[in-house]
Amino acid sequence: MFERITLPDNVLPPVSPYCHAVRAGDFLFVTGQLAQDPETGKVVRGSIEDQTHQVMANLKRVLDHAGSSFDRVVMARVFITDLRFLPIVNEIYASYFQSGQCPGRTAIGVTGLAGLGDVEIDLIAYCGK
């Protein structure tokens, strides 16, 4: 069985029909997060640094709400509109894993993202004991 996890709308309103995460067995599948400002619901139009920090903050909100953390993430996918930004995204992304142990990951160059942001990241976290 599985459990859908949706944050309260005032925390991070969905931009389309989805739930923020699904817990299936011992795993949590976190929906791809954009650089969406939870207060306005709009995608941050700042630098790639600003966008990446917002994406990671949004992922943290979902993980926290589901009772998990970055240190329990086993796999991530990074979608980015310009691979020249990848070194910057990598540096910021790595700083959120306090244990220094980053999960498995795939980085994918795309021609566009929903909301017209430049970076989106989804995660799978282990939630077992």
Domain that holds residue 92: 2-126
> Which phi and psi angles does 79 have, rounded to 5°?
-110, 125
pTM: 0.91
Residue-by-residue DSSP string for 3-33: EEE---TTTS--SSS--SEEEETTEEEEEEE
The string of pLDDT tens digits covering residues 16-73 is 777 889 999 999 999 999 998 888 888 888 899 999 999 999 999 999 989 999 999 9
Q: Total structural domains in the chain?
A: 1
Q: How far apart are CA 33 and CA 89, in angstroms?
A: 14
34: domain CATH number is 3.30.1330.40
